Structure 1
Amino acid sequence: MESERLRFAPPSLQHQPLMLAAIIESQLELSQFLPWVSSALTEQESVASMKQAIDDFANYQNELRFSLFEKESDEFIGAIGLFIRDKSVPYFEIGYWLRTAYVGHGYITEAVNTIEHHTFVELDAERIEIRTDVNNDKSRAVAIRCGYQFEGIHYCDHRLPNGDLSDTAVYAKTR
């Protein structure tokens, strides 16, 4: 899968060192809202996560994760995934993160639009969600820019990595 500036690659152990380096480089920003960051900072954890992603992708279960590469430089810049919420609908949730140096240049908006098209056309989705912490203004802005409808807030439904109780904003598109 490709977009104007991005190449989407299925999970591969070849990408694992690149992903680990990007997570370590961007951990201060990522760890504000993403609980998995603290457990993704070692070689062993990173390899295990990538092996799980490869298995999930091959078996069409849990999450279909793609590595994002900038086409011009072939630089690994982040990841985007489709969480399979209900195959019988089909219903998916998009999750994403970006290397700090690439934030603010429209890459995630481009990636969301591309994966959304793929999900509706190739996977025959009826519903796609983007869920984000209510205080993650950048992620909420992506959902709005991509035309997702704000459906509401789930109050006190998760803890942030720092332990604070927080709320989740839910955005969605349907066929």
Structure 2
Amino acid sequence: MTSRLIFRDEHIEIRVPTELEAPLHFEAIQASVKEISAWESWCDTGYSLEDSRTYLIESYVKRQRGLEYRFCLFDVASGKIIGSIALNRIVQEYKTANIGYWIRSDFTGRSLAVTAVQAISRFAFQELGLTRLEIVALAKNQRSRRVAEKSGAFDEGCHRNRLYYQGTPEDAWVYSLIPGDLPQKLV
């Protein structure tokens, strides 16, 4: 059984959300739809409460099957969902996975994504036995690239046509993390 809580301090908690928290998830996305949709094709103005509910149900099923591990960042003071981080594209044969993340617009600039990347990396290495994680960010997504760099990830360069975004192949920067890359303490 894997941990449902992967980080907690006096400000944030990073844990598996439940289906009952769909309204909180939906509200966080609505508060950030403009910023998230600039980089994520699943997010647009038509995103609904039912989409959040479906996402959380699918998260449970995928976690049970070991296909994906999705967590949300919760603000301890308000209880709001303030972001999300996930391990996806897990390949057990090679002990690899991708990391994806977003932070609610009114909570950016606080190194929350950096903390989340480091927390999910520890979870991946220690609990899942993975040995390589990748962060793949669209070349134009400076903020996401900066998170990867601040997290201690190794810059492997810009890969041509690495992502397919809104019907178009796009260049993307690839960053990798292996167990020795993580700092002793979380940021």
TM-score using structure 2 length: 0.84
Match of 1:166 in 2: 170
- Alignment-mate amino acid for residue 52 of structure 2: S
Three-state SS of the structure 2 residue aligned to 1:53 is helix
Match of 2:3 in 1: none
- Aligned equivalents of 2:171, 2:147: Cα separation in 1: 18
Q: 2:72 aligns with which of 67, 83, 89?
A: 67
**Number of residue pairs aligned between Structure 1 and Structure 2:** 173
Asked if 1 retains the 8 angstrom alpha-carbon contact of 2:29 and 2:104, the reply is yes
Post-superposition offset of 1:159:
4.3
Three-state SS of the structure 2 residue aligned to 1:2 is strand
Q: 1:38 aligns with which of 32, 40, 44?
A: 44
Structure 1 residue ranges without an equivalent (≥5): none
Post-superposition offset of 1:40:
6.5
Asked if 1 retains the 8 angstrom alpha-carbon contact of 2:14 and 2:73, the reply is yes
Q: 2:82 aligns with which of 77, 80, 90?
A: 77
TM-score using structure 1 length: 0.90
Three-state SS of the structure 2 residue aligned to 1:94 is strand
- Aligned equivalents of 1:88, 1:165: Cα separation in 2: 27
Match of 1:58 in 2: 64
Are residue 87 (structure 1) and residue 97 (structure 2) matched? no
Asked if 2 retains the 8 angstrom alpha-carbon contact of 1:129 and 1:170, the reply is yes
Asked if 2 retains the 8 angstrom alpha-carbon contact of 1:11 and 1:57, the reply is no
- Aligned equivalents of 1:40, 1:121: Cα separation in 2: 38
Asked if 1 retains the 8 angstrom alpha-carbon contact of 2:28 and 2:80, the reply is no
Match of 1:120 in 2: 125
Three-state SS of the structure 2 residue aligned to 1:50 is helix
CA RMSD, Structure 1 to Structure 2 (Å): 1.8
Post-superposition offset of 1:50:
1.8
Structure 2 residue ranges without an equivalent (≥5): 1-5, 180-187
Seq. identity, %: 28
Instruction: Give the 3 Å change call, closer, same or farther, for CA 143–72 of structure 1 in structure 2.
Output: same
Q: 2:140 aligns with which of 132, 135, 160?
A: 135
Please identify, of 138-147 and 43-52, the stretch whose mean Cα deviation from structure 2 is larger. 43-52
**4+ aligned runs moved over 3 Å, structure 1:** 157-161
Q: 2:32 aligns with which of 6, 26, 32?
A: 26
Post-superposition offset of 1:155:
1.3
- Alignment-mate amino acid for residue 176 of structure 2: A
